[in-house]
Chains A and B, each alone.
Chain A
Amino acid sequence: MSDVLQMIPMDMLQKNESGRIVEIVGPHDWKHRLQELGLRDGAIVRVVKPGTPSIIAIDGHRFSFRSDPNTVVLVELLPA
């Protein structure tokens, strides 16, 4: 693995790819909600079903997820 972190928006993850949440960029109230739901910095997200909305897995839980156009969840792609 290279030293440079590969940061991509979560929407770009393919099926069954995982990423570690690095940062959520967006309006603070919505960001806060997402964090309370468990999309916290450092959490590992796996895409169960890509699409709009997608199904993601965090800590063994499933969420349906479609982001706001103003909010981006940046993740660091994890090796499979």
Chain B
Amino acid sequence: MHETVQPATSLQSLTVALIGNPNTGKSTLFNSLCGGKARVGNFPGVTVEKKVGKYRFGDRQITLVDLPGTYSLSPRSADEMVSVDVLLGRQKEVTAPDAVVCIVDASNLERNLYLFSQIRDLNLPTVLVLNMWDLATSRGVQIDVEQLSERLGVPVVTTSAHRREGIERVTDAVLQAVETPGTKPVQLFPQAFYDEAQQLDEWLVANGEPKTHLFLRERMLLDIRGASEEAASQPDQTKLKAYLEEARGRLAASGHRIPAIETKLRYDWIRQQLDGVFTRSDTDQRLSTSDRIDKVLTHKVTGMIVFALIMLLIFQAIYTWSGPFMEMVEGLQNAANDLVGGMMGPGTLRSLLVDGIIAGVGSVIIFLPQIVMLFAFISILEDCGYMARAAFLMDKLMTKVGLSGKSFLPLMSSFACAIPGVMATRVIENRRDRMVTMLVAPLMSCSARLPVYILMIYTFIPASLLFGFLSLQATVLFAMYAIGALLAIPIAWLFKKTLFKGETPPFVMELPPYKWPSPKIVLDRVYDRSRAFVVRAGTLIFAVTVVVWALGYFPGDHTAQHQLAQQLETLHASPEENAEKIDELSAEFDSVSGALIRESYLGRMGKAIEPAVRPLGWDWRIGIGAVASFPAREVIISTMGTIFSLGGEVDEEDPSLKDALANATWPDGRPLFTVPVALSLMVFFALCAQCGATLMVIRRETNSWRWPIFTFAYMTGLAYIAALLTYQIGTSLMG
């Protein structure tokens, strides 16, 4: 909004924006500067993460805004526009920055300075940070830092952020940049271009849009169909687009072709700036450590084997390592029950607390250990550089269904959660591929399905070994993860052949050098994502749980049931003497509880839908659980926890849902859950779209209700048919 930025000489607080190419160590620098204290949120209306940290430097309070890693400031989407808006002070959530820190990889200045040259056009005090300095010097890169700083007209600092070297110098340089008056900006483009930018300003003013930043007008002219074309609020957008089309036509007529002119001029400028100050000995020909690792990991045979082993290891680890942690959570749940039981006698409030909240929320929280572990594995693979290799390996497979390796990352993230997965499809330039990837991403087995699998497997699949070494339980878990991924292949192919016809998209992706994952970054990501899971358990799942409890508790008369519970508790004081009486009363209690829940609102609703779920081997309780889990899959667990707890099938000594399910029966006394029933329930949850948040994210990303509704319909149909086949085939096989 401001044409020039006044040098801020006496500021006590400074806002600094941090920007850079991907894989330049930006997050590490951010963490070292702020000491890990950052507020993470989202910019409104877009899916860009807003990360803001604060730190003190001398008598200054510095607010550091982390912008998403990018190769250029040519916004093609509303998401990429966020960075431009923040830098220009157009983003209301963040104060206009007083300075910009542009971090680059010291060994790759030629390309990294492209972004820097765009940032220079902002005309803000700027600092250039040459990061990974140690690596660059060891690779034989030589840079005359003083000379470079003089030529570029900005302070230049060298750092090795991962070793915390040179960190203080960054803030020093920021203060220096802010305090010295800016030099006149370099005019990279021919005068004709600036004349057009000036005319555009006059046109905008005439159309009711005063005071657009020169940078924004430059972007409007340069980015054909870019997001900046929509950045002006006043004039009619079609009018503006038509005007810009004409302006570009005029420039082309005078020999300045857009957009080719931008990359050409910027790279020419970079070449001039680096001439004589940047030299690289010919180490590029040498096989680096990463290349040696890549020989194995990107090899079509050994690479695939390693890939399969890594995936298998993750699933084995999640299953076998999390047992002790789960028992701890279960212990806490028991303690909470005892605490409530000790404080009040049987009654409606106690039922709400024990049967509703503790049974419901507790049964979801118990899966936190697995989720933490899954997120940890994904973060480690991302941070060490393996994910890009996995995308490389998968490109061959992806092209078979008409997608590219770029779709791999969003799909892999969807194994943790479809929400970041759907958001990650933004890296796919091609709209058709992006749509197809988005529509199949929810088929990947996310962490919310894990609770369903674990509960079913833990309770109903025997802990035997397959071929003497593979755990049968882990194998079933692996199969559940595989089913969605395998079905996604024909479905993606079908979508690509029908709804989104088009050629196989090109695939270019940087393969960052391998590095040891940074524990700080991994821990941060695991913490953020796990916290989101717990918050969901505490809010959405909590609310659904209370509703389900109420529907299952009312309108029955619970007086007799509470009296029985009271009597049982007194008798339990000396269980040996009263063994017979306890058995008698327990049976009565169970039958009273069972009758109450069958007559409840929930029971009536369940009975109504039972015919639809009977072919899947489910009774009304499982059916109602599946319906109630529409907001989020893991709700099935809490709902079942509540239904079976209310129904009195939870043992007083061990209130875990696992035992309740193992003891649950049909009215005629047959066990409710058999292996085919457990499998059919798991298959249903592997494929269904029971996740309100994912559907909302699809809506936001596609800007239409059509696609979330479509996703829900096709996935539910698929889930029902697959669960039906599983149960029917399973039952006939078992005899």
Please say whether chains A and B are actual partners in one complex. Answer: yes
Contact residues of A with B, CB < 8 Å?
A: 16, 28-43, 46, 48-49, 52-53, 55, 57-69, 71
When A60-B139, A62-B290 are in contact, do A36 and B72 touch as well, CB less than 8 Å?
yes
Do A55 and B294 touch across chains, with their CB atoms under 8 A apart?
A: yes
Q: Contact partner of A64 among B71, B283, B391, B505, CB < 8 A?
A: B391
Q: What interface size band does chain B fall in?
A: 35 or more
When A40-B263, A55-B511 are in contact, do A60 and B283 touch as well, CB less than 8 Å?
yes
Residue B108 interfacial (CB < 8 Å): yes
Residue B396 interfacial (CB < 8 Å): yes
When A34-B508, A65-B508, A68-B505 are in contact, do A49 and B107 touch as well, CB less than 8 Å?
no
How far apart are the CA atoms of A23 and B290 in the complex, in Å? Answer: 29
How far apart are the CA atoms of A49 and B291 in the complex, in Å? Answer: 10
Do A37 and B508 touch across chains, with their CB atoms under 8 A apart?
A: yes
- Kindly provide the distance from the CB of B104 to the nearest chain A CB, expressed in whole angstroms: 12
Residue of B429, B505, B511 contacting most chain A CB atoms (<10 Å): B511
Sorted nearest first, the 5 A-B pairs with minimum C-beta distance are A68-B506, A38-B111, A35-B263, A62-B511, A66-B507
How far apart are the CA atoms of A1 and B563 in the complex, in Å? Answer: 101
Do B114 and A52 touch across chains, with their CB atoms under 8 A apart?
A: no
Do A53 and B510 touch across chains, with their CB atoms under 8 A apart?
A: no
How far apart are the CA atoms of A67 and B504 in the complex, in Å? Answer: 10
- Kindly provide the distance from the CB of B477 to the nearest chain A CB, expressed in whole angstroms: 31
When A37-B510, A65-B508 are in contact, do A60 and B280 touch as well, CB less than 8 Å?
yes
- Kindly provide the distance from the CB of A58 to the nearest chain B CB, expressed in whole angstroms: 7
Which residues of chain B come closer than 8 Å to A62, judged between CB atoms?
Answer: 290-291, 294, 510-511, 513
Do A66 and B395 touch across chains, with their CB atoms under 8 A apart?
A: yes
Which residues of chain A come closer than 8 Å to B275, judged between CB atoms?
Answer: none
How far apart are the CA atoms of A47 and B72 in the complex, in Å? Answer: 25
- The digit string for B371-399, where 1 denotes a CB below 8 A from any CB of A, is 00000000000000000100110011001
- Kindly provide the distance from the CB of B272 to the nearest chain A CB, expressed in whole angstroms: 13
- Kindly provide the distance from the CB of A14 to the nearest chain B CB, expressed in whole angstroms: 15
Do A49 and B506 touch across chains, with their CB atoms under 8 A apart?
A: no
How far apart are the CA atoms of A71 and B224 in the complex, in Å? Answer: 19
- Kindly provide the distance from the CB of A48 to the nearest chain B CB, expressed in whole angstroms: 6
Do B74 and A32 touch across chains, with their CB atoms under 8 A apart?
A: yes
When A42-B267, A66-B404 are in contact, do A28 and B224 touch as well, CB less than 8 Å?
yes
Residue B285 interfacial (CB < 8 Å): yes
Do B506 and A30 touch across chains, with their CB atoms under 8 A apart?
A: yes
How far apart are the CA atoms of A41 and B271 in the complex, in Å? Answer: 11
Which residues of chain B come closer than 8 Å to A68, judged between CB atoms?
Answer: 503, 505-506
Residue B259 interfacial (CB < 8 Å): yes
Do B291 and A58 touch across chains, with their CB atoms under 8 A apart?
A: no
Which residues of chain A come closer than 8 Å to B105, judged between CB atoms?
Answer: 61
Q: Contact partner of B506 among A28, A46, A60, A67, CB < 8 A?
A: A67
Which residues of chain B come closer than 8 Å to A41, judged between CB atoms?
Answer: 264, 267
- Kindly provide the distance from the CB of B709 to the nearest chain A CB, expressed in whole angstroms: 31
Do A63 and B508 touch across chains, with their CB atoms under 8 A apart?
A: yes
Q: Contact partner of A43 among B107, B110, B262, B507, CB < 8 A?
A: B110
Q: Contact partner of A65 among B271, B283, B504, B507, CB < 8 A?
A: B507
Residue B253 interfacial (CB < 8 Å): no
Which residues of chain B come closer than 8 Å to A69, judged between CB atoms?
Answer: 503-504
Residue of A40, A60, A67, A71 contacting most chain B CB atoms (<10 Å): A60
Which residues of chain A come closer than 8 Å to B506, judged between CB atoms?
Answer: 30, 66-68, 71
What are some 27 contacts across the A-B interface (CB < 8 A)? A16-B285, A28-B259, A29-B225, A32-B259, A32-B263, A35-B263, A37-B508, A38-B110, A40-B111, A41-B264, A42-B267, A42-B271, A48-B294, A53-B395, A53-B396, A53-B507, A58-B111, A59-B280, A60-B283, A61-B108, A61-B111, A62-B511, A63-B508, A66-B507, A66-B508, A69-B503, A69-B504
How far apart are the CA atoms of A71 and B503 in the complex, in Å? Answer: 13
Residue B126 interfacial (CB < 8 Å): no
Residue B260 interfacial (CB < 8 Å): yes
Which residues of chain A come closer than 8 Å to B108, judged between CB atoms?
Answer: 38, 59-61
- Kindly provide the distance from the CB of A9 to the nearest chain B CB, expressed in whole angstroms: 14
Do A53 and B263 touch across chains, with their CB atoms under 8 A apart?
A: no
Q: Contact partner of B405 among A34, A39, A53, CB < 8 A?
A: A53
Contact residues of B with A, CB < 8 Å?
A: 71-72, 74, 105, 107-108, 110-111, 114, 139, 224-225, 259-260, 262-264, 267, 271, 280, 283-285, 290-291, 294, 298, 388, 391-392, 395-396, 399, 404-405, 429, 503-511, 513
How far apart are the CA atoms of A33 and B280 in the complex, in Å? Answer: 25
Which residues of chain B come closer than 8 Å to A33, judged between CB atoms?
Answer: 429, 508
How far apart are the CA atoms of A55 and B291 in the complex, in Å? Answer: 10
Residue of B nearest to A65 (CB): B508
Residue of A nearest to B280 (CB): A60
Which residues of chain B come closer than 8 Å to A34, judged between CB atoms?
Answer: 508
Do B291 and A63 touch across chains, with their CB atoms under 8 A apart?
A: no
- Kindly provide the distance from the CB of A19 to the nearest chain B CB, expressed in whole angstroms: 13
How far apart are the CA atoms of A62 and B391 in the complex, in Å? Answer: 14
Residue of B nearest to A33 (CB): B429
- Kindly provide the distance from the CB of B429 to the nearest chain A CB, expressed in whole angstroms: 7
Residue of A nearest to B503 (CB): A69
- Kindly provide the distance from the CB of B549 to the nearest chain A CB, expressed in whole angstroms: 52
Residue of B262, B264, B271, B506 contacting most chain A CB atoms (<10 Å): B506
Residue of A nearest to B291 (CB): A48
How far apart are the CA atoms of A77 and B506 in the complex, in Å? Answer: 23
Q: Contact partner of A36 among B71, B284, B291, CB < 8 A?
A: B71
- Kindly provide the distance from the CB of A62 to the nearest chain B CB, expressed in whole angstroms: 4
How far apart are the CA atoms of A53 and B388 in the complex, in Å? Answer: 13
Do B395 and A64 touch across chains, with their CB atoms under 8 A apart?
A: yes
Do A49 and B294 touch across chains, with their CB atoms under 8 A apart?
A: yes
Residue of A nearest to B283 (CB): A60
Do B114 and A61 touch across chains, with their CB atoms under 8 A apart?
A: no
How far apart are the CA atoms of A28 and B508 in the complex, in Å? Answer: 16
When A41-B264, A41-B267, A55-B511 are in contact, do A64 and B405 touch as well, CB less than 8 Å?
yes
Residue of B nearest to A53 (CB): B395
Which residues of chain B come closer than 8 Å to A28, judged between CB atoms?
Answer: 224, 259-260
When A30-B429, A58-B111 are in contact, do A64 and B264 touch as well, CB less than 8 Å?
no
How far apart are the CA atoms of A7 and B72 in the complex, in Å? Answer: 29
Residue of A nearest to B510 (CB): A63
How far apart are the CA atoms of A44 and B74 in the complex, in Å? Answer: 24
Which residues of chain B come closer than 8 Å to A38, judged between CB atoms?
Answer: 108, 110-111, 114
How far apart are the CA atoms of A32 and B285 in the complex, in Å? Answer: 27
How far apart are the CA atoms of A39 and B262 in the complex, in Å? Answer: 14
Residue of A nearest to B267 (CB): A40
19 new A-B contacts at CB < 8 Å, known A63-B508, A66-B395, A66-B404 = A32-B74, A36-B71, A36-B72, A40-B111, A46-B284, A49-B294, A49-B298, A53-B392, A53-B395, A55-B298, A58-B111, A59-B280, A61-B510, A62-B291, A62-B294, A63-B511, A64-B508, A65-B507, A66-B405
